[in-house]
């Protein structure tokens, strides 16, 4: 039986990062993967979706070339080529992870892994043992009883990335990050898209102003939006699919070629041996302490299978912290109140910290500043005037409580707010930090200035 210091179960952005950091710290490490290295994120999520979205963005530029004084005749797209480019990007990233495994001398064990008592892992009948086992098996598309996925007419995100034929009509159920990203992509490609959202606003976890702006932008680009609406049943017996949608006004039947179910995720915790080992699970999540130790010594869990936010960068951070604690380093527990969230539709969304509503519900005395990109020179020059930056500060102490952005490239800007909040910066310190001109990031400084009644360009 092969013996390791650490075996990691799952090779997504939680698992493979954990394995690399463990190896760097001197642990003899193995990683178990049943499909492709990189997990859902690299192969079916974060990376290939961004490739699709980039193609959509370039196509949008071509269609609006005259806005920039350019002439492009008969701009068109090849749907198969767009999908193939996305798959090529994913394959390249997965090969990159293979290289990193070799570079860091990590043993890759291909197959389906199940944990066993006595700190063992069974991979398709072969047993391996380790002093520490880290579960990083991730999650998959969640299915609703009223919306069973058949992989053809009712699909999840995997099928949405590799459709053989572009649908003429699509219904997207759910308006979280996955739902709105695919809605933008397919709409840009020319598909007639309708979003059905159960809650009163789309991207419901975001600040209400961001939700309203995205709805305005999406409707302007031709996306149909139904909020406070629920798909109660689907009929796939005909050529396409019919969805019965319950709204405040009554029932409505929508017809489409395909329905994309984007109603959240389900953790991959079944049939991996949790019951055999006695690991405690609550509400579909493995219960862990601040350093990702389960209730059974020697067994840890990170990423989507634990109660934190189901985001790639969270899983990576958790894995690194977990193995650094095992190595005896002094580590601080992750602050889950300072995790940035990014959505890569167009306009993009990025946020961290409290929304204005959350801050007011806490009874906090706050200062709120907002700066529209329509007043930004860089945004005007780039033809990207939609959106804004919104900041929220504690009125008494100047603590940066939240930052919410919607606009072009904002997912690359949010780290300023994350770092500022980590360093406990105040509003005045942000205001006096000189931001380069002309840039989109100036809008952060201007939004802070607006909060303190010192805004210059508005």
Residues flagged as binding site for NAD(+): 174-181, 197, 264
Burial of 17 (0-12, 13-18, 19+ CB in 10 A): buried
What residue spans of 334-409 are helical by DSSP H? 356-361, 377-382
| Residue list for the binding site for FAD | 50, 113, 304
Which helix H or strand E contains 186, and what residues bound it? helix 177-189
* Residue 260 to residues 110, 159, 342, Cα–Cα distance (Å): 31, 9, 21
Supply the DSSP symbol for 412: G
C-alpha–C-alpha distance, residues 239 and 437, integer Å: 55
Q: Which two tokens stand for residue 111?
A: 């197959």
Partners of residue 130 on adjacent β-strands: 4
Of 64, 329, 428, 437, the catalytic one is 437
Query: In the block, which residue shows the tokens 């959505």?
Result: 343
* Residue 403 to residues 280, 348, 356, 363, Cα–Cα distance (Å): 36, 14, 9, 18
64 is catalytic: no
Q: Which two tokens stand for residue 190?
A: 């020319």
C-alpha–C-alpha distance, residues 16 and 8, integer Å: 8
3-state secondary structure of 240: coil
Partners of residue 149 on adjacent β-strands: none
Q: Hey, which residues are catalytic here?
A: 437
């Amino acid at each position: 039986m092969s013996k390791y210091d650490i075996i990691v179960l799952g090779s997504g952005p939680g698992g493979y990062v954990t394995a690399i950091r463990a190896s760097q710290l001197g642990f003899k490490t193995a990683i178990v993967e049943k499909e492709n290295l990189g997990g859902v994120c690299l192969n079916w999520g974060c990376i290939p979706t961004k490739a699709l979205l980039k193609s959509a963005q370039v196509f949008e530029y071509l269609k609006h070339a005259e806005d920039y004084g350019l002439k492009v005749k008969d701009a068109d797209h090849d749907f198969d080529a767009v999908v193939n480019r996305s798959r090529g990007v994913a394959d390249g990233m997965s090969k990159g992870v293979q290289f990193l495994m070799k570079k860091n001398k990590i043993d890759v064990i291909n197959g389906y892994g199940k944990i066993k008592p006595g700190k063992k892992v069974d991979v398709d009948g072969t047993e391996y043992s380790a002093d520490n086992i880290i579960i990083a098996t991730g999650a998959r598309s969640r299915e609703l009883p009223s919306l069973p996925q058949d992989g053809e007419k009712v699909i999840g995100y995997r099928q949405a990335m590799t459709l053989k034929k572009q649908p003429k009509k699509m219904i997207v159920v759910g308006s979280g990050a996955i739902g709105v990203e695919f809605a933008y992509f397919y709409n840009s490609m020319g598909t007639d898209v309708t979003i059905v959202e159960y809650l009163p606003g789309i991207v419901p976890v975001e600040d209400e102003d961001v939700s309203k702006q995205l709805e305005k932008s999406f409707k302007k680009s031709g996306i149909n939006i139904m909020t406070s609406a629920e798909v109660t049943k689907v009929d796939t017996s005909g050529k396409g699919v019919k969805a019965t949608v319950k709204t405040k006004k009554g029932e409505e039947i929508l017809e489409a070629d395909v329905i994309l179910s984007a109603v959240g995720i389900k953790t991959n915790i079944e049939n991996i041996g949790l019951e055999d080992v006695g690991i405690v699970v609550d509400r579909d999540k493995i219960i862990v302490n601040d350093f990702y130790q389960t209730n059974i010594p020697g067994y840890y869990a990170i990423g989507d299978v634990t109660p934190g936010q189901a985001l790639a960068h969270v899983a990576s951070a958790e894995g690194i912290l977990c193995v650094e604690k095992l190595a005896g380093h002094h580590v601080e527990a992750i602050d889950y109140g300072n995790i940035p969230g990014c959505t890569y539709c167009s306009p993009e969304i990025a946020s961290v910290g409290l929304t204005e509503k959350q801050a007011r519900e806490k009874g906090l005395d706050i200062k709120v500043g907002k700066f529209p990109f329509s007043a930004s020179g860089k945004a005007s020059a780039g033809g990207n005037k939609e959106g804004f930056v919104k900041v929220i500060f504690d009125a008494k102490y100047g603590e940066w409580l939240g930052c919410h952005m919607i606009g072009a490239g904002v997912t690359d800007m949010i780290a300023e707010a994350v770092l500022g909040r980590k360093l406990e910066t105040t509003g005045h310190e942000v205001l006096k930090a000189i931001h380069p001109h002309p840039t989109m990031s100036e809008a952060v400084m201007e939004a802070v200035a607006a909060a303190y009644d010192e805004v210059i360009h508005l």
